Chains A and B, each alone.
Chain A
Amino acid sequence: MTVNEVLNKVFPLGSKVEIENNIVSGEGRTAAGIVQIIGTCNNTVIGVDEILALSVKFLEVMRENPGRPVLMMVDNNGQKMALNDELLGLNQYIAHLVKLQDMARRNSHKVIALVYGNSIAGGFIAFGLCAGDTYALEGSNTSVMALPAVARVTKLPLEYLEELSKTVAVFAPGVKNFYLAGGLQSVWCDDLNQCLENALKEDQCSDMRSRIGMERGGRSAAWNMTQKILDEQ
């Protein structure tokens, strides 16, 4: 689905976005009020230029509409792999964008990420996983690395990895596996407007992902490990 097709379903009361260089920005109307829309489209890669454009949108909403909820529309094919972006310090640019999302949440904005296309590797960390809550649309795609590439790096046969991916959620690509590991709060389907209304009610105060991952059986060790270190005298 295109970004506008998804937005029409999320905001039946209406939404309006502008798209420039694969950066999406605008507003959507809900029963509870206006939601700011900040996103990307066309499977863009997240480089320095994309980050600066997205960062400006976060700075604007914090300055001009304090407390207004933000819906991040996520679709990327990962971080940009280019010498110039690395030369400039892409890691610091991504960190900047991530801090802005974090600061918006601390300043009482609900920050909701919806993966509606792809979200991959450094692109998913830059724009998706560091929101207050992260969701994915049914049929979207989240991954760190495709299995053929994992096979090359780990020197294991692709057939073996494909078989393993059916039972081991922790490494295989896919929305279902990210959901099981606690990385996605829920997967949106059917009434997308209701999904958004529900998401707006979450308090986003604490990070419960490792606990959720344990409860869903996709990430069994993390929560206890963290608690053990926290609780030791």
Chain B
Amino acid sequence: MRLKTFRSYFEATARQRVAGVFDKNSFAELCPPSEQFGSPHLKHFNIPLSFDDGVVVGDVLLGGMKICCAAQEGRFMGGAIGEVHSAKIVGILKRCLKKKPEAMVFLFDSGGVRLQEANAGEIGVAEIIRALLDVRYAGIPVIGAIGGSCGVFGGAGIISGCCDALVVSEEARIGVSGPEVIETNMGVDVFDSRDRALVWRTCGGKHRYILEMADDIVENSMEAFRNALIKLMKIKKTYDLAGLEKEHEILKKRSTDFSDCRDGFDVWRKIGFSDVEKIPSLTVEDLKAQQKNRGGVK
């Protein structure tokens, strides 16, 4: 029964996602809220603490395999990255080098650096990236999932771009400067952030999948994310110079091919999709079928 098994990934909290995506009752949280590690800085801003600082980390099983995981809580300060938040993620990444799990899975949900502790958050992002690339260099795949209400923006968006593979839902949004930030700084003529359809065509899950920035796109359910992650963690990409040279060619070609595009529609048309107006309403399965028929961007 679909109604019984369908559980929204988008609506869930970080802990519900950990419980719903990974193997039942296998999660061992590290530094749980009972140990009360909140941010030491938010008191200056009269903001109540969260005793996990908006991120859950620990050891867990996925499809019977030992992995390490981090899950950001978008409901606490938009999943923003502060001092303790980033230190917990660095900790779980360094732990990967010690415990040698089958994979590191990162359930993203973050608007980026937390302004109230901006310097610590900004440096924290750089530390996360360095630790993440250490994990990849050690041959342990780092897989990300994006489908929460905050998407990934700012530093979190950059971290997501450093993973081996990503799974997104249609609801996912990936970027650096969010539409509101661009509108505030550059004006409504540059980007009208209230045009939700334009926002999704610019940074939404389908567009990112079509551009091959995400390896899989799934419907908004725990089961769908779980199944996709189990598949993706078997992907072994090597992190080396040859791989980066290839990535460079892909990114160069993309910027040349779509330099004059101002809308997802323009990109999809150039790639060779017919009926681009219908893409926003396509099911995930239909989109994947069309992407496959096209043979990808390359």
Contacts and interface: CB of A to CB of B under 8 A. Distances in A.
Given A86-B176, A106-B137, A219 B88 contact: no
Contact of B190 (A83, A93, A213, A228): A83
A227 B95 CA distance: 9
A193 interface: no
Given A99-B133, A129-B122, A229 B31 contact: yes
B287 interface: no
Contacts of B41: 168, 170-171
A17 interface: no
Name the prevailing secondary structure of the B interface residues: helix
A197 interface: no
Interface in A202-233: 207, 209-210, 213, 218-223, 225-230, 232
A88 B254 contact: yes
A171 B131 contact: no
B160 interface: yes
Nearest to A129: B126
Interface stretch (A23-31, A32-40, A177-185): A177-185
A166 B58 CA distance: 37
Contact of A222 (B120, B252, B263): B120
Name the prevailing secondary structure of the A interface residues: helix
Interface in B201-257: 202-203, 207-208, 211, 213, 239-241, 244-245, 247-248, 251-252, 254-255
A82 B259 CA distance: 12
Given A96-B248, A144-B119, A122 B124 contact: no
B251 A92 contact: yes
Contact of B186 (A49, A81, A144): A81
Interface in B155-182: 155, 157-162, 174-177, 181-182
Contact of A122 (B45, B155, B186): B155
Given A91-B174, A96-B251, A229-B57, A221 B83 contact: yes
12 contacts: A84-B259, A87-B203, A88-B211, A89-B161, A89-B174, A89-B208, A103-B244, A106-B137, A170-B118, A181-B123, A183-B126, A213-B120
